[in-house]
């Protein structure tokens, strides 16, 4: 067998294997979409890919084949007799005999490439077909913003594709004319036969016409220019680049007419001259002239000449990131907060988060992991009504960690250990006497100390699943450990693909690359295979057009089920003039809330921003996929929260784009920055608090769940403002910024951190903790607005260097120029504001006040007895120090001090 045939056989086998692999993947996906009830999404995407790919492929094949075949059929009217042309004709004759097959093969390969490339643009095609107006126009061309987001991307690809199609056809036809003596290159001249001249002249006319259309599309692309001081079309783009593009369109029109003249009359000089001129203007003019204007005309007068374009950039950037309706209020930051004020805001104090995510996650793993094959991946903030009070809680699901299974055999990973179990949940600010978190829910099976219960604790769908598991098999499925025994489980949910006949087992064995699936006798026809079990993966497959939040969170419903909530974003990088942000693009909306049941894997998508034109377009494309938010169950809707990813993006943009005056924006006179901690931007944090009274006097402030972030002036550390996002109805999604008075110095987070570092008592305590194998961990410094004042709270944790069980040992409170560290938040607040500042928290560890210790001493005690008592307290304090029991250590020192003071009076 010849090498050519071997190569052809290899290519055919490779194509067959790829086709089989793709067919398997499509069938497995078809079954999965049927499981979740969204086969219409699968068929819409697949049929659109097939249609768009076929359309581009067929058109490419027909146009290329017709043009090249026509050139190949050319019969020369005259043979010039040169040696070169005679040699070429020898090659042309065998080609003519197999002309259709040869050209068809080449056209087929190119058409396949065109079809595969076109199929990848299925989403752009659908958005082009289902475009929705924004009802706002761009400032340069007056077109609706929807044109740039929905229409322009597909037109740009279509234009580039047409250029490629006509260019390949022209090159192919020219090559065949050269072979068939239609074009003869002589020593002094080039001879072009009439058929070749007509054909190639018309192709050149079409090519130049398509290129002229491209220049028109390039004019729209000026709205994404990065040339000037802001993103978008600036002075040089509008007064230099745009006229050149318009001139190129005119030159292309003239060149196309010259090509028609060449085709009809064989007059070639105008086409060559105009073509060369067009190429020179495109090459030199577009790159040099606008840059020359920008550098030598605009830059010396930049603030004045760029002013209108800065204004458009500000307006459209604020629109693109949902910042047009930010409510501005003044926060006076008075130093008049009293104990009575704290009592009025008692619920805010009760919900100050003292447990950071990382220390709490490490503590949960030590206290609630139960078995090595369980793991806590993340801790989420949420709020529940607990015993009639609105409480912020930290909740973490106990998931199955397959990498930590005691025996990672195939049966264990895919039949026996199938799911995680239960959750750990506790308040954000409660601590035990040992400095550990208190729990509302804990243990296996779940034990709850509040009214809310978990009735379906199994977690089959989570954040760290494996590829697939089988349920309802002959093998015993593990549910949870109970002492020395394991409790078995039988899956009763509707998740997974059923009907596992021999043929389906064969399909899944091939798809997952495991022959054991086919050979296993434990799999029954009624068994179910659960795959695509990662919650973000499930949502991404159902709604591939969404960008998903990085932090899904678990909710316990009123019926006791566990449901994951995932925020979905519609994004684009095609908003004119809007400043881009990283890889997000320059437009974002939190348009979708996805709910995934942790037990049966059901996926429901709800539209949270129905005003977003992008989500309106996707609702047209995928009817029935997206439900109105009103259809979400009330017990889930009560736990919707403003997403942290979106708020982080908005806060970074708002730090610059709160300045709406172009001159102030240009000079960066009021530029803000997000405070940094260890060279990283401070993260936004959730809290329950009562927002200060603003301009809306009719609204009675009450505690609500908000997300906030402070701002400081650029290159300075004092406070400038803080931004809050509201999560509770009826104010969900509203943004409020509170501005600090510029004439008053308000300490920022870094300044408070520096004051803590400089406090001698705190430094001594941290130094003491860092000795004898311990490590002091400073938690997040939280700024807590209370009425018209600002309070800073920072927890301190103690962890053994060789262990991973952080204990919350101290809380630091800063208010104005006052700083206090104590064993808990209530005690620290009382140290600043006096007794009665807060009601005592039930179960919270409290430092022993000094006055009760003095009152406990009998006045008639003799000096010798007092001396013995002081020595006893000293010895107990030393014992507590050796045990690192800092609470008992402080209490004993207080008692010893009281005894010594009484002794001094004697």
Report d(CA 355, CA 797) in Å as an integer.
9
**Residue 679: what pLDDT?**
81
Predicted pLDDT of residue 81: 53
Confidence at 649, pLDDT banded by 50, 70, 90 = very high
Q: Answer left, alpha or beta for residue 774, where phi above 0 means left and psi between -120 and 50 means alpha.
A: beta
Say if CB 411 and CB 475 are below 8 A apart. yes
Closest CA relative to residue 282, chosen from 248, 316, 259? 248
Cis previous bond, 784, omega within 30: no
Summarised one tens digit per residue, pLDDT across range 895-905 is 887 888 777 76
Confidence of residue 906 (pLDDT cuts 50, 70, 90): low
pLDDT at 74: 75
Q: Distance (Å, rounded) from C-alpha 566 to C-alpha 459?
A: 16
Please give the full DSSP string across 109-173, using - where no structure is assigned. Answer: HHHHHHHHHHHTTHHHHHHHHT----S-B-TTT--BHHIIIIIHHHHHHHHHHHHHHHHHHHHHH
Report how far residue 390's alpha carbon sits from residue 367's, in angstroms, rounded to the nearest whole number: 26
Q: What is the rounded radius of gyration, in angstroms, for the C-alpha atoms of the chain?
A: 36
The residue whose two tokens read 């925020």 is 567
pLDDT at 316 over 90: yes
Question: For residue 857, what pLDDT is reported?
Answer: 45
Please tell me which residue, 459 or 906, carries the higher pLDDT value: 459
Structure token pair of residue 134: 């924004």
| Alpha-carbon dihedral sign for residues 575, 580, 584, 589 | negative
SS3 200: helix
pLDDT of 411 strictly over 80: yes
Q: Look at residue 6 in the predicted model and tell me its pLDDT.
A: 59
Question: CA-CA distance, 551 to 559, in Å (whole number)?
Answer: 24
53 pLDDT higher than 90: yes
Task: Identify the pLDDT of residue 4.
Answer: 53
Average pLDDT over residues 442-457: 95
User: What pLDDT does residue 63 have?
Assistant: 96
In the predicted structure, residue 840 carries a pLDDT above the cut 70: no
Higher pLDDT, 510 or 890: 510
Q: Which residues contact 21 (CB under 8 A, 6 or more apart)?
A: none
Task: Check whether 453 has a pLDDT greater than 90.
Answer: yes
End-to-end Cα spacing for the chain: 116
Least confidently predicted of 13-27, 82-96, 541-555, 614-628? 82-96
Residues 6+ apart with CB under 8 A from 198: 263, 264
**CA atoms lying within 13 Å on the CB side of residue 478:** 21
Is 487 in a helix, a strand, or coil?
Answer: strand
As a whole number of angstroms, the distance between CA 774 and CA 779 comes to 16
Identify the top-confidence range among 81-90, 331-340, 385-394.
Answer: 385-394
Q: Which of 143-147, 646-650, 786-790 has the lowest mean pLDDT?
A: 786-790
Reported as a pLDDT band with limits 50, 70 and 90, residue 61 is very high
Closest CA to 549 of 598, 608, 600: 608
**pLDDT at position 88:** 57
Phi, psi of 899 (to 5 degrees): -65, -45
Lowest mean pLDDT: which of 458-467, 710-719, 896-905?
Answer: 896-905
Cα–Cα distance list, 728 to 149, 265, 428, 610, 720 (Å): 32, 76, 19, 18, 26
pTM: 0.88
Q: Are strands 626-628 and 603-607 parallel, antiparallel or unpaired?
A: parallel
Give me the mean pLDDT over the 55-76 stretch.
91
Mean pLDDT, residues 17-44 taken together: 90
Instruction: Spell out the residues 6+ positions from residue 111 whose beta carbon is closer than 8 angstroms to its own.
Output: 57, 58, 60, 61, 64
Residue 628: enclosing H or E segment and its boundaries?
strand 626-628
Kindly state the average pLDDT of the residues 849-876. 61
Q: Looking at residue 94, what is its pLDDT?
A: 67
Name the pLDDT band for 852 (thresholds 50, 70, 90).
very low
pLDDT for the residue numbered 181: 75
Q: Which among 569, 735, 559, 557 has a CA at the least distance from the CA of 639?
A: 557
Over the range 764-792, which residues count as b (16 or more CB within 10 Å of their CB) and which as e?
Answer: ebbeebeeeebebbbbbbbbbbbbbbbbb
Q: In this prediction, what percent of the chain has a pLDDT beyond 90? A: 71
Core vs surface per residue 639-661: b (16+ CB within 10 A) or e: bbbbbbbbbbbbbbbbbbbbbee
How many C-alpha atoms does 750 have within 13 Å on its Cβ side?
20
| Cβ 545 vs Cβ 563: under 8 Å | no
> What is residue 869's predicted lDDT score, i.e. its pLDDT?
80
Contact 593, 568 (CB under 8 A): yes
Q: What is the dihedral of CA 764, 768, 769, 774, to 10 degrees?
A: 150
Structure confidence at residue 78 as a pLDDT band (50, 70, 90): low
The HSE-up count of residue 168 (CA atoms within 13 Å, CB side) is 21
Range from 72-81, 366-375, 396-405 carrying the lowest mean pLDDT? 72-81
Tell me how far the alpha carbon of residue 10 is from its chain's centroid: 43
User: Percent of the chain having pLDDT more than 70?
Assistant: 90
- Inform me whether the pLDDT recorded for 84 exceeds 70: no
Q: What angle do CA 27, 28, 30 make, to 5 degrees?
A: 60
Asked whether residue 18 carries a pLDDT value surpassing 70, the answer given is no
- Comparing 13-27, 634-648, 649-663, 830-844, the range with the smallest average pLDDT is 830-844
Cα angle 532-533-535, degrees, rounded to a multiple of 5 = 105
Within 10 angstroms of residue 699's Cβ, the number of other Cβ atoms is 11
Query: What was the pLDDT predicted at 700?
Result: 73
Enumerate residues 6+ apart whose C-beta is below 8 A from 426: 355, 393, 394, 437, 438, 439, 440, 441, 442
Out of 93-107, 601-615, 637-651, which region has the weakest mean confidence (pLDDT)?
93-107
Confidence of residue 717 (pLDDT cuts 50, 70, 90): very high
Q: Taking the CA of residue 391 as centre, how many other CA atoms within 13 Å lie in the half-sphere pointing to its CB?
A: 20
Question: Rounded to an integer, what distance in angstroms lies between the CA atom of residue 806 and that of residue 776?
Answer: 9
Where does the pLDDT of residue 804 fall: very low under 50, low under 70, confident under 90, or very high at 90 and above?
low
Q: Which of 170, 153, 259, 160 is nearest to 213 (CA)?
A: 160
Burial label for 289, CB within 10 Å (0-12, 13-18, 19+), is middle
Among 781, 774, 848, 842, CA closest to 812? 781
For residue 737, count other CB atoms closer than 10 A to its CB.
Answer: 20
Which residues, at least 6 apart from 144, have a Cβ–Cβ distance to it below 8 Å? 133, 134, 135, 136, 137
The residues pairing with 497 across neighbouring beta strands, listed in sequence order, are 529
Determine the pLDDT at residue 682: 92
- In the predicted model, is pLDDT for residue 83 greater than 60? no
pLDDT at 659 over 50: yes
Mean pLDDT of the chain: 89
Tell me: pLDDT of 21 over 80: no
Which one-letter DSSP state was computed for residue 285?
A: I
Confidence (pLDDT) at 101? 86
């Amino acid at each position: 067998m010849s090498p050519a045939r071997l190569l052809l056989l290899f290519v055919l086998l490779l194509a067959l294997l790829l086709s089989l692999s793709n067919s398997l993947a499509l069938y497995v996906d078809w079954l999965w979409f049927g499981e979740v009830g969204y086969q219409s999404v699968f068929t819409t995407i697949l049929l659109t890919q097939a249609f768009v790919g076929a359309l581009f492929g067929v058109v490419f094949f027909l146009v290329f084949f017709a043009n090249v075949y026509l050139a190949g059929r050319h019969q020369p009217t005259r043979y010039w007799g040169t040696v070169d042309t005679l040699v070429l004709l020898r090659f042309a004759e065998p080609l003519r005999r197999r002309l259709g097959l040869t050209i068809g093969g080449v056209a087929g390969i190119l058409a396949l490439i065109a079809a595969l490339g076109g199929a990848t643009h299925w989403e752009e095609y659908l958005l082009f077909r289902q475009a929705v107006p924004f009802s706002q126009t761009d400032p340069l061309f007056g077109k609706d913003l929807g044109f740039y987001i929905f229409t322009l991307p597909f037109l740009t690809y279509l234009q580039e594709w047409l250029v490629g199609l006509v260019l390949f056809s022209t090159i192919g036809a020219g090559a065949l004319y050269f072979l068939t003596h239609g074009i003869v290159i002589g020593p002094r001249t080039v001879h072009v036969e009439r058929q070749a001249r007509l054909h190639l002249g018309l192709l050149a006319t079409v090519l130049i016409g398509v290129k002229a259309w491209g220049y028109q599309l390039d004019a729209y692309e000026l709205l994404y220019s990065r040339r000037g001081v802001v993103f978008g079309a600036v002075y040089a783009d509008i007064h230099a680049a745009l006229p050149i593009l318009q001139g190129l369109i005119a030159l292309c029109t003239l060149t196309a007419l010259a090509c028609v003249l060449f085709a009809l009359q064989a007059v070639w000089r105008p086409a060559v001259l105009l073509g060369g001129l067009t190429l020179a203007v495109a090459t030199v003019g577009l790159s040099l002239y606008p840059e020359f204007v920008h550098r030598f005309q605009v830059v010396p007068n930049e603030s004045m000449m760029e002013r209108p374009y800065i204004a458009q950039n500000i307006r459209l950037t604020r629109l693109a990131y949902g910042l047009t309706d930010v409510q501005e209020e003044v926060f006076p930051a008075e130093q008049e907060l009293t104990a009575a004020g704290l009592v009025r805001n008692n619920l805010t104090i009760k919900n100050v988060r003292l447990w950071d995510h990382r220390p709490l996650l490490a503590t949960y793993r030590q206290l609630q992991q139960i078995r090595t094959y369980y793991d806590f991946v993340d801790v989420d903030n949420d709020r529940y009504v607990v015993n009639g009070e609105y409480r912020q809680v930290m909740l973490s699901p106990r998931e199955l960690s397959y990498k930590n299974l005691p025996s990672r055999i195939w049966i264990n990973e895919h039949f026996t250990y199938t799911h995680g179990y239960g959750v750990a949940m506790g308040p954000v600010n409660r601590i035990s006497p040992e400095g550990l978190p208190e729990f509302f829910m804990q243990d296996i099976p779940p034990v709850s100390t509040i009214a809310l219960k978990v009735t379906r604790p199994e977690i089959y769908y989570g954040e760290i699943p494996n590829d697939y598991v089988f349920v309802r098999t002959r093998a015993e499925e593990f549910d949870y450990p109970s002492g020395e025994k394991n409790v078995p489980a039988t899956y009763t949910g509707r998740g997974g693909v059923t009907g596992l006949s021999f043929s389906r087992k064969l399909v899944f064995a091939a798809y997952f690359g495991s022959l054991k699936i086919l050979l296993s006798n434990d799999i029954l026809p009624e068994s179910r295979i659960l795959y695509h079990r990662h919650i973000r993966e499930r949502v991404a497959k159902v709604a591939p057009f969404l960008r998903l939040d990085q932090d899904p969170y678990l909710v316990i419903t009123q019926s006791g089920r566990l449901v994951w909530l995932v925020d979905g974003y519609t994004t684009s990088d095609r908003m004119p003039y809007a400043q881009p942000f990283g890889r997000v693009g320059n437009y974002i909306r939190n348009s979708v809330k996805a709910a995934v049941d942790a037990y049966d894997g059901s996926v429901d998508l709800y539209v949270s921003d129905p005003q977003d034109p992008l989500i309106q377009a996707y609702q047209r494309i995928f009817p029935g996929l997206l439900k109105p938010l009103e259809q979400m169950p009330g017990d889930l809707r009560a736990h919707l929260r403003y997403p942290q990813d979106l708020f982080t993006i908005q806060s970074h943009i708002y730090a610059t784009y709160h300045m709406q005056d172009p001159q102030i924006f240009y000079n960066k006179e009021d530029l803000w920055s997000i405070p940094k901690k260890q060279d990283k931007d401070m993260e936004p944090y959730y809290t329950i608090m009562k927002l200060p009274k603003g301009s809306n006097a009719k609204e009675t402030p009450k505690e609500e769940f908000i997300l906030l972030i402070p701002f400081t002036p650029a290159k300075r550390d004092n406070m400038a403002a803080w931004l809050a996002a509201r999560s509770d109805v009826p104010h969900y999604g509203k943004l409020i910024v509170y501005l600090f008075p510029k004439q008053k110095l308000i300490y920022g987070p870094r300044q408070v951190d520096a004051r803590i570092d400089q406090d001698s008592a705190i430094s001594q305590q941290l130094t003491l903790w860092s000795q004898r194998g311990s490590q002091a961990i400073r938690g997040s410094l939280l700024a807590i607005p209370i009425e018209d004042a600002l309070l800073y709270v920072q927890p301190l944790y103690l962890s053994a260097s060789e262990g991973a069980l952080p204990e919350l040992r101290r809380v630091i409170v800063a208010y104005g120029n006052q700083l206090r560290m104590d064993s808990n938040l209530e005690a620290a607040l009382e140290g600043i504001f006096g007794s009665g500042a807060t009601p005592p928290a039930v179960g919270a560890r409290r430092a022993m006040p000094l006055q009760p210790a003095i009152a406990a001493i009998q006045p008639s005690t003799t000096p010798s007895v007092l001396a013995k008592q002081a020595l006893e307290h000293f010895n107990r304090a030393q014992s507590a120090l050796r045990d690192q029991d800092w609470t008992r250590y402080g209490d004993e020192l207080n008692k010893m001090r009281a005894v010594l003071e009484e002794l001094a009076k004697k």
